[in-house]
Amino acid sequence: MFEYVYWSNMAKWARAVGHKEEALTYERNGMLATPPSDPASAETYRTDSLRALWKDVHGSEDGFEAWMKQTAAESPYPALEAARTAPAVVAKAGGWEVKNTPLPEFAISDAEGKTWHLADLKGKVALVNLWATWCGPCQEELPHLQKLYEKVRERKDLVVLTLNTDDNPGLILPFLKEKGYTFPVLPAAAYVNKLVPELSIPRNWIIDADGVMRQEVIGFGRASEKWVDEMIAVMEKARGK
């Protein structure tokens, strides 16, 4: 049931922001995640609704049946584990930990409708921040992250990207509008959960120009006025400057 609720919320979010192709995938994954309460009617209704959305996106019903037979594992959005637990919150930041972890491929649309792929980070050094709307330390860190984003947004060698881990992606846009944040946000709970099953946030990754995680720091303490410059220095060091 948890997985069905997740995919249902993702589908509602995708429809709300006009991402119909993604809504197709999310709704199909929701159908695969849980059986209907009344197989004779509910299944027909859900299939007909999905068929109508498919036709709206692709212009005809051609290929619908073949697409429906694909499994959730073949989708670009891996299914969540049914027993997924909420991320732990870390209030005090530790030191940077050295990593050597290639990021798996992804294709996720941000709040502005841009679909991000791992290839978008290639050739640049990326600071990737993991956060949630309900996370107190994340809320303390995000204003500094916004300043960092504004300072490097025109650079061709550095990029700031965030992965939101809320189970309900419908919370993201209202939160961003309320706070006035403009940094890119990907609703990436499924992607992050597969990569870090026992997640704690906030968390920052330094990703090198080849898409490999080179450093990680977990938690957030009280940031000084030098936080932005210190983050840029870490990014530039990973770039080899």
Per-residue pLDDT reduced to its tens digit, 162-177: 999 998 888 888 899 9
Is residue 56 predicted with pLDDT exceeding 60?
A: yes
Q: What is the pTM of this model?
A: 0.68
Task: Give the HSE-up count for residue 172: Cα atoms under 13 Å, Cβ half-sphere.
Answer: 30
Length of the chain: 241
For the chain, give the mean pLDDT: 81
Q: Assess whether 34 and 105 both reside in one domain.
A: no
User: In the chain, pLDDT over 70 holds for what percent of residues?
Assistant: 80
pLDDT for the residue numbered 83: 37
Q: Which of these three, 35, 51, 74, is where a domain ends?
A: 74
Burial 107-116 (b: 16+ CB within 10 A, else e): ebbbbeeeeb
Contacts of 147 (CB under 8 A, 6+ apart): 228
Instruction: Please give the Cα distance from 102 to 95 (Å, whole number).
Output: 21
Question: Following DSSP, what letter does each residue of 2-57 receive, concatenated?
Answer: HHHHHHHHHHHHHHHTT-HHHHHHHHHHHHHHS--SSTTTHHHHHHHHHHHHHHHH
User: Based on the domain organization, do 64 and 111 belong to the same domain?
Assistant: no
For residue 48, give its domain range. Answer: 2-74
pLDDT of res. 109: 86
For the chain, what is the domain count? Answer: 2
Render pLDDT for 79-113 as a digit per residue (tens, 0 to 9): 444 334 567 776 666 688 999 999 999 989 887 77
Domain boundary among the residues 74, 96, 129 is at 74
